[in-house]
């Protein structure tokens, strides 16, 4: 959601800053719109985010054991290469 500003921001800036790009009042509206989008994204994340481990991210025990056998130091690797 927060990446929307990277795509929509230049279009909004182009529409708002056509008259005088050096006028600070025109930039104020752009920053208000950007802050509103970021605020909405933060509230959306706070409401719908979940901190539980998802089933698709869990490794099965056979794969985990194979990875332990391949590691000569004995450290369990946390990322899959």
Q: Which is more confidently placed, 54 or 27?
A: 27
Per the domain annotation, does 36 fall within a domain? yes
Looking at residue 1, its pLDDT comes to 55
Query: Based on the structure, what is the number of domains in the chain?
Result: 1
Looking at residue 58, its pLDDT comes to 75
Per the domain annotation, does 27 fall within a domain? yes
Taking the whole predicted model, whether its pTM rises above 0.85 is answered as no
Per the domain annotation, does 73 fall within a domain? no
Looking at residue 47, its pLDDT comes to 93
Per the domain annotation, does 9 fall within a domain? yes
Per the domain annotation, does 19 fall within a domain? yes
What the block records as the tokens of 28 is 């104020």
CA distance 28 to 47: 28
Per the domain annotation, does 75 fall within a domain? no
- What is the domain extent for residue 7? 1-50
- Tokens 């050096």 found at: 22
Catalogue the long-range contacts made by 5-13 (C-beta closer than 8 Å, 24 or more residues apart): 5/34, 5/37, 5/38, 8/37, 9/34
């Amino acid at each position: 959601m927060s990446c929307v500003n990277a795509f929509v921001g230049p279009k909004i800036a182009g529409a708002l800053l056509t008259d005088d790009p050096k006028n600070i009042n025109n930039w104020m509206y752009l920053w208000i719109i950007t802050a509103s989008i970021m605020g909405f994204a933060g509230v959306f994340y706070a409401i719908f985010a979940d901190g539980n481990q998802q089933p698709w991210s869990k490794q099965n025990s056979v794969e985990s054991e194979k990875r332990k056998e391949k590691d000569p130091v004995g450290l369990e690797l946390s990322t899959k290469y």
